[in-house]
Structure 1
C-alpha cells in the first residue's frame, strides 16, 4: 500500500539507528538527565498545559525514569490509545497477518455469499478484483445468473462504545463492521461494499442481484478469496493518520484471535491480556475502545513510555515504530513543531498525537543530542479554555523538544 509506506524511510532510519544506540548504551542514565528533568518540569509549567498535565520520560537503554510528574495518574489518552491497539494487534496476530475476504457457495443453487473478514484496509479496487475473480469462476462453471447474499456476522451488530459522544458516529468513526471500505464513514459500510461487489459481478457478464444477510455454512465451498492487505500496513496507516475505523476493527480482531467474542468488553479483556504478554502492566488501565475516541479510556504516561520502550526492543512491534508520525514531516505531525522552541526537533521526534475536547496528548520516542534514546508521554486532560488548542500543542511539542535535547 504505497501511501502507507511513503514516509517510512525516515522512521526506519531512526529505528535502525536505535539498534546501534542500544547496543552501545550504558546501564545508567546520563548526567545530562538531571538537567533534562529540570527542563521538562519547567516546560510542564506552561500555562497552556493547565495544572493537571502529566508527563513521563524514560531512558530506553537503562529503563530509568528521566522525568516524571504524575506519570502514574490515569488520564484520558485520546488517540495515543492507538499505540496500545498497534502493540496488542501486532503481538497477537503478527505483522504479516493478512485479512481474507471470501466468496463461498450459498445454501442453495444460484446463490453465493460474500463473507466479510474484517479487512480494515479494503478498497473499491480490492472489491472490484474480487468481483472479477468471482464472475470468471461463475462463467467457467456455466453460471449466468446469481443472487449475492452477505455474511457480516464476524463482529456483533454495531453499537457505540461507552463514552463516545453524540455525533461521533459517523463523523469520526463508522459502525464497526467486518466489511467496508477504508475511509468509509457511512452509516452502513457493509451495504456500500456489498452493492459495489454486486455491480462488479454484473459488469463482468453475470446477472447478479443482492440477496439477504445470512450466516455462511462453515464448510461452504470457497469460490475465491483475496488477501490484499497486511496487519503491518493497517498499523502504519492507523498511526500515521490516526484512522479510527482501522483501530476499531483491529480492536475486535485481537479479541477473535485470542478466543474472545468481538464485543467491546471482550475486546478490552483481550487487549489487556496482550499487554500482559508484552510485560506491560494492564492495571489500572481502562481500555474501552481501540481508537481512543471514548472519553472513558484511561492510560498513564508511565504505561505509554513502558510500551514504547518495549516496542523499540521487540522486532514483532517494528511496525509500531515505523508508523509513528515524524515531527514536522509526516502524518498528524506534519504541521506540528513549526515554531520555536519546538521547531528544532523537526524530523527528530516520532510520536502519536491525541486530541479530544479538552484533551491533548503526545507519546513517542526520540534520540537525544547526547545519543541516548528516550520514550516520553505527555497527557493534558483539562486544557485551559483561555488557550487555543494550537498553544497547548506548541507547549507539548516544546517539552518533546526538551526530551530530544535541542531546546
Structure 2
C-alpha cells in the first residue's frame, strides 16, 4: 500500500467477523452476502448475516427499486467535496442494469494509486486461474550441489508449511526435509552447495516508474520469483526497510533449514550427516522436492486486503510468463492490458506505468473501474468472482479496518467493500455495496491534486460510500 496508514486490529475479532461477512457467492433473493456486523431492528433483511452460506445465482432481486439519480446527486454533492485543493471524479452504476446513477468527470483518466491492483487482480484470475498454485522446488544440479528454483511464490516462510495459511502455505523447513530425504536416498554424503534460481523473471528487478524514495521507504522491493514474507524482514511488520536481494535471503534461510535437517543423522540410504553451504550457481538438473503456494485466488485476496505492492508486481509478471511473454515489468504490464482487453474492458486512454499503483503516471478513469467491478460482481466470468473476497470491508478488514468509525460513516461499516488507494495528493476508493433497498451498486471515487494529509478527504470518500449503503434514494 502506498503510504497508507495501516492500523493493527484484533486478528481474532476480524476473523470472527469475516466469517459472517466475506462473500462465498452472490445471492439476490431476499438475503445477500453483504452483512452488517451488529444487526438491529431497523436493518433491512438483505443486510443481515445469512444463516447459511449464500448460493450463487444470477440476476438481482427484480423488485428492489433503483436509486434516483437526482436524489443521489444531491446527497453526493454534499459529501464528495475536497478538503482544500483538488477535485474528485466519481461514477456510481447499478450493477444489474448498468444504469449510470451518478457521474462527475467519470470518463477522465486519473491517477488511481492502489486501485490499480484491481486491474492486476482481474488479469491474474483470468490468466492464471483462481485455483492455480506456484511451486518452489529443489533440483540436484551436480553430485554435491542443489538449487532452489523460484516458481512465483513470494509468500514463503522459514518454518513448516501451513496448509491453512496464505502467507506460509509453503514453508522452507518442509522443503528442506523433503530435499534432505531425497539426497540421502540418492546416496549423497558430506558437504552440498546450495544456489538460488530466480531465472523465471527477467529484466530489471524494479520498475523505473516507481520513485526510488518509495523503495527506500519499504513500499516495495526488487522483485524475484521467490521471497520470504512478500519481501518483508518480518511477516508481522508491514513498514520499514525490506530485503533488497530476495533470492539470497531465501537461500540463507533455506541453508539454515537444510542444515537443521541434515545434522539429524537419521538413517537413510547413505546414513550420516549432511552439511550445506550457500554457493555454486543455478542450473538444470533432476527435481528433488517441491512445495506449493496458496491458490492464486487466495493470493489475490491477500494482495487486495493488504494492498501488497510487491505481491502485485510478482502476480503481474506471472501473468506475463503464463502468456509466453518475458517475466519482466514490461512483460507484466503488456500481459495485464491484454487480459483486460480480452475481458472486454474498454482500455482506451488507460495508462499502466506500474501494476501496483505506486507510480503517479498511471491513468484510469472511474468509469473503467466501475466497468471492471461490474464484471466481478455480476458478469459471467466465474474466475473474476474470486476477487470479491479480497475487497476490504469497511471498519472490519484490510486497509479499511480503521475507517468508518465516525458518526458520518459508521452506517457503512460492514457494508461497504472497496479497494483503497493513497499517494501524496491522491485518494481513491472503488468497490461495491448493497443499498438499503437491496440494490447492488458499484462505484469509483478518485481524488487528484488533493491537499496532502487533509483529513477531510478520506472522510469524503467514506461518507460518500456510506451514502450509497444507506440509500433508499427516491
TM-score, length of structure 2 as denominator length = 0.79
Moved more, 259-268 or 344-353: 259-268
Name 1:198's counterpart in structure 2.
Answer: 255
Trace 1:351-366 onto structure 2 (pairs within 5 A). Answer: 351-366=418-433
Query: How far did 1:406 drift?
Result: 5.0
Name 1:401's counterpart in structure 2.
Answer: 466
Name 2:356's counterpart in structure 1.
Answer: 291
Mapped partners of 1:8, 1:351: distance in 2: 18
Name 2:207's counterpart in structure 1.
Answer: 161
Name 2:270's counterpart in structure 1.
Answer: none
Name 1:242's counterpart in structure 2.
Answer: 307
Query: How far did 1:34 drift?
Result: 2.9
Q: Which has the higher helix share?
A: 1
Name 2:137's counterpart in structure 1.
Answer: 102
Give ranges in structure 2 of 5+ residues lacking alignment: 1-10, 34-55, 160-170, 233-241, 263-273
Task: Evaluate the alpha carbon distance shift between residue 389 and residue 99 of structure 1 in structure 2; reply closer, same or farther with a 3 A threshold.
Answer: farther
Number of residue pairs matched by the alignment = 398
Task: Evaluate the alpha carbon distance shift between residue 50 and residue 306 of structure 1 in structure 2; reply closer, same or farther with a 3 A threshold.
Answer: farther
Task: Evaluate the alpha carbon distance shift between residue 31 and residue 155 of structure 1 in structure 2; reply closer, same or farther with a 3 A threshold.
Answer: closer
Matched, 1:151 2:197: yes
Mapped partners of 1:120, 1:70: distance in 2: 38
Name 2:148's counterpart in structure 1.
Answer: 114
Matched, 1:322 2:322: no
Name 1:128's counterpart in structure 2.
Answer: 173
Contact 2:345 2:368 in 1 (8 A): yes
CA offset digits 1:248-295 (Å, max 9, x no partner): 100101111111112222211111111112111122111222211111
Trace 1:191-340 onto structure 2 (pairs within 5 A). Answer: 191-205=248-262, 206-214=274-282, 216-217=283-284, 220-313=285-378, 314-340=381-407
Task: Evaluate the alpha carbon distance shift between residue 179 and residue 283 of structure 1 in structure 2; reply closer, same or farther with a 3 A threshold.
Answer: same
Trace 1:372-383 onto structure 2 (pairs within 5 A). Answer: 372-383=439-450
Mapped partners of 1:287, 1:8: distance in 2: 35
Moved more, 46-55 or 237-246: 46-55
Task: Tell me the SS of whatever aligns to 2:83.
Answer: helix
Q: 1:370 aligns with which of 437, 441, 445?
A: 437
Mapped partners of 2:321, 2:460: distance in 1: 40
RMSD: 2.2
Matched, 1:178 2:225: yes
Give ranges in structure 1 of 5+ residues lacking alignment: none
Contact 1:59 1:372 in 2 (8 A): yes
Task: Evaluate the alpha carbon distance shift between residue 224 and residue 159 of structure 1 in structure 2; reply closer, same or farther with a 3 A threshold.
Answer: closer
